[in-house]
Amino acid sequence: MLKLGVNIDHVATVREARYHGQNRGEPDPVEAALICEQAGAHGITVHLREDRRHIQDRDVIRLRGVIKTRLNLEMANTPEIVAFALKLKPDIVCVVPERRQELTTEGGLDAAGQKEALKEARKRLNDSGIEVSLFIDPEPQQVEASASVGAQFIELHTGTFAEHFSEAGARDLEIARLVAAARQARHLGLKVNAGHGLNFQNVPALGRVPHLVELNIGHSLVSRAISVGLGEAVREMLRAMETYRG
């Protein structure tokens, strides 16, 4: 069964638009996470950015104490955030690239160019019982590097696929890249997640990509929640994912 991890960053984005810098505010991302779990989500994802533009330390600490599923902490490989993860002990971390001026993560991690630094962080995290995923573009050298680093998972960056979804030729090319990367990862012993830009329209097309364990989806669900509520948005996405056979 293909699992759904719900990214609740955008719930915090709405809160911070009004209550930035305050130790309070609405909507509450932790409450949102519990609603997602009750609706059937298999995990909760948050990105604790260095600039704390949306999710705050207190949110992640509260989440660790209350959610019953799987906490996935997206993070840059920096000393401060690695130390935070080692203390928090999420179930899994997903190491992502991070640029201060970007609106959202703009591409995959250059695992091939950062192998030694990633290997050191991966070992520290694994030694603390935390699984490690690397958020990478579907490129052979990045998949190979992720295996070399010793990661347990990769998360394939689906942003380019999502961007070109309405263009049949470009869409098929991106699906072919995802298929090849997933097969290579499986051959190298890596588990495969996917995420970025996924929505109700493009998720069914990922049925052609083998070996997927989990999709991490945020913006589309929070957007849909404005119309139907967060719980129903999660249930609708789970129904959209039901046909996946891997």
CB-based contact 111:137 (threshold 8 Å): no
CB-based contact 171:150 (threshold 8 Å): no
Q: Which of 10, 42, 54, 196 is catalytic?
A: 196
- Residue 164 falls in the annotated catalytic set: no
The Cα–Cα gap between 169 and 153 comes to 29
Q: How far is CA 171 from CA 5, 165, 214, 234, 240, in A?
A: 24, 5, 21, 25, 19
- Residue 47 falls in the annotated catalytic set: yes
Q: Which of 47, 98, 157, 174 is catalytic?
A: 47
- Residue 167 falls in the annotated catalytic set: no
Q: Which of 37, 74, 131, 155 is catalytic?
A: 74
User: Which residues are annotated as catalytic?
Assistant: 47, 74, 196
